[in-house]
Structure 1
């Protein structure tokens, strides 16, 4: 089906009105948008508490939105304006103009030890790496190396909460939610700054 420019403009205006009305009425629990990046198209989602999800294309954005509908709220709407700050900060990061994110985060998708690890990940400075073992020590549980790996693997906010900076003790990459190519790109980007 082809949509002419008049119809496309009308649809865009209608969507904008629906977005404003949902926001004004308190009917929007999760706003989302997508942004292009050197590691592919990223899905960004936020609740009123803050950024709750950053998802790579390989995670299947539709599946991620379905998961958010089940775990957070079915009241989800594409609302790019709600994520302008997150999108801008990601652009600055990829352009070597930002080394740390200054965003409100909603960590409610993680619990217990996983959330503890994810809260400590931003302590690894831009361009630096730590091993899973060092992270376990950093969070006060030196024997929890595998649990640190699990916390990194399930990080709902990759890039912003920098699990890509955690490597195996021998210096090899280990796994990464966005794939090893994305992890390599992020580490090389930070090393080049």
Structure 2
């Protein structure tokens, strides 16, 4: 099941399967991703709740999400995504810092970046909070403009 919501960074498609959120997709949506979508279900309770929490996030009223998540990925990807959730609201971490938290050397930064880019549930699993070692914004599946807006939204909410 899925629904689409409007947000300050454009339409978002939220996908649910078996009682958990499996994807949040940026527009333009691409079907044929291999993710089961099912039917549109704007009134499905979990999708309504996810939309509510995302709305609160964009209104600067929510700093953490409380949703059942089931991202599909390898064990390595899931370990990286678990580290992303640990990055606090309004904070950032570098790819190297994430690698170190996983007990890897800085050489694993590229693998962290690849896993970060494969995150199927952006915003809720906050891959936008990962930046380059020198503090610059680096790749983001939703585009650097969206990444910048999300980081600014969080920074503005803290002050």
Shared fold (TM-score, shorter chain, > 0.5): yes
**TM band (smaller chain):** over 0.9
Which of structure 1's runs of 4+ aligned residues deviate more than 6 A?
A: none
Normalising by structure 2, we get a TM-score of: 0.92
CA distance in 2, matches of 1:94, 1:36: 10
8 Å Cα contact 1:40/1:56 also seen in 2: yes
Cα deviation 1:70-104 (Å, max 9, x = unaligned): xxxx7x11111220000000000000000010000
Cα deviation 1:23-73 (Å, max 9, x = unaligned): xxxxxxxx1000000110001001124100000014x24344xx213xxxx
Unaligned runs of 5+ in 2: none
* Aligned-CA RMSD value: 1.3
- Larger helix percent: 1
Q: Which residue matches 1:14? A: none
> What is the CA-CA distance between 1:135 and the residue it aligns to?
0.6
1:34 match: secondary structure: strand
8 Å Cα contact 1:51/1:104 also seen in 2: yes
Unaligned runs of 5+ in 1: 1-30
Normalising by structure 1, we get a TM-score of: 0.77
Asked which structure has the greater CA Rg, the reply is 1
